Amino acid sequence: MKLKRALLLAIITIATVLTGCEPLAVLDPKGPQAEVQANDIVMSIWLMSGIVIVVFAMLAYMLFKYRASKQKKDYEPPHIEGNIWVEAICVGIPVLIVAFLSFVSVQSNYKVEATPPGYEDKEPLVVYASSSNWKWHFSYPEEDIETVNYLYIPTDRALEFKLYSFGPITSFWIPQLGGQKYAMADMVTTLHLAADHPGEFMGRNANFSGKGFAENTFDVTAMSPVEFDEWVEEVHKTADPITEDKFEELLEPGHLGKMTFTGTHLDFKPAPEGENSGHQHHHGSNDDEEENHDNHEENEDHENHEDHSDHSGH
């Protein structure tokens, strides 16, 4: 009786706690890319739940059917040969499950890495999202705007994020809009997203990058295209322009609030794309080559001067 009461109390407690929980962000998609991933997660959960139920049912059956029984001391169990059908099922079903999940995963990867379906004929909004310790910088080259630690986006329009880092590797992630992708120094990665519904979402760095990692977050606001255009006009009327000195100050390690500027840092510190990719390494190489060239010319001038002195002496 006490055991039944304890079990009932535990069930009521768990149910009460779960009713107060908010839905997982990844299972509350607000964009086509996130919806693909949410459907895959739910499908995987149901599939794995079915496997667990079947395995535990078989375990219970085996434990009951082949439980210990009172036999004579000289009892010897019969010799049983392996059953090819049982072995085929035990091996074949897991292989089929893995093959099915692999097919779904590859198919989904192609979907989320491309422009969202239905947005192919629309001009995407290009945003350069760069990270530094421990903040996010969002550059809108077409709108000539830059924000820090917050992102405004229009709904019903494809979003093309160009990701890179001014420090350690970070991971750009807006759970309700899509999966995460790495932002690295000296290269740019592209992430395609879209927001079908207006609202406010959470974004963050999903890759550990030092002591300030936990607060390396940013706010995302999706709004109608008309509201987005109004915000762009307001920024150009009220915000100060970003300068190279100010941007260098922003790159210093630390946490900042939300900030807005006209112009972008891309004008004086472009993203490492194309010729700029791996710019630190290449710039270092060019400097070394120029220094070696200057040293070579200096040595030649010195040798010519010595030869001239020798001829003058003769």
Per-residue pLDDT of 170-180, as tens digits, reads 999 999 999 99
Average of per-residue pLDDT values in the chain: 84
**Backbone φ, ψ for residue 281 (5° rounding):** -65, -45
Contact 191, 184 (CB under 8 A): no
- Residue 4 is predicted with a pLDDT of 62
Q: Name which of 300, 216, 303, 279 is nearest 253 in CA terms.
A: 216
For residues 267 and 179, membership in a common domain is answered with yes
- Residue 275 is predicted with a pLDDT of 55
Q: Judge residue 60's burial from the number of C-beta atoms within 10 Å of its C-beta, 0-12 exposed, 13-18 middle, 19 or more buried.
A: exposed
For residues 175 and 42, membership in a common domain is answered with no
Question: How many structural domains are present in the chain?
Answer: 2
For residues 249 and 157, membership in a common domain is answered with yes
Question: Within a domain: residue 119?
Answer: no
With a pLDDT cut of 70, the percent of the chain lying above it is 80
CATH number for the domain harbouring residue 144: 2.60.40.420
Per-residue pLDDT of 278-288, as tens digits, reads 544 434 444 44
Residue 109 confidence (pLDDT) above 50: yes
- Residue 11 is predicted with a pLDDT of 66
Question: Within a domain: residue 282?
Answer: no
Question: Within a domain: residue 269?
Answer: yes
Give the best-scoring range by mean pLDDT among 65-69, 114-118, 149-153: 149-153
For residues 163 and 93, membership in a common domain is answered with no
For residues 267 and 156, membership in a common domain is answered with yes
Residue 100 confidence (pLDDT) above 90: yes
Question: Within a domain: residue 267?
Answer: yes
For residues 151 and 195, membership in a common domain is answered with yes
- Residue 173 is predicted with a pLDDT of 96
Question: Within a domain: residue 73?
Answer: no
For residues 198 and 92, membership in a common domain is answered with no
Per-residue pLDDT of 42-84, as tens digits, reads 999 999 999 999 999 999 998 998 887 777 888 887 887 778 8
Question: Within a domain: residue 288?
Answer: no
Per-residue pLDDT of 221-259, as tens digits, reads 999 999 999 999 999 999 999 999 999 999 999 999 999
- Residue 76 is predicted with a pLDDT of 82
For residues 35 and 160, membership in a common domain is answered with no
Question: Within a domain: residue 168?
Answer: yes
- Residue 122 is predicted with a pLDDT of 85
For residues 108 and 149, membership in a common domain is answered with no
Token readout for 83 is: 């059953």
Question: Within a domain: residue 219?
Answer: yes
Which pLDDT band holds residue 274 (cuts at 50, 70, 90)?
low
Domain that holds residue 265: 125-274
For residues 48 and 166, membership in a common domain is answered with no
- Residue 271 is predicted with a pLDDT of 94
For residues 110 and 249, membership in a common domain is answered with no
With a pLDDT cut of 90, the percent of the chain lying above it is 63
For residues 155 and 102, membership in a common domain is answered with no
Within 10 angstroms of residue 89's Cβ, the number of other Cβ atoms is 11
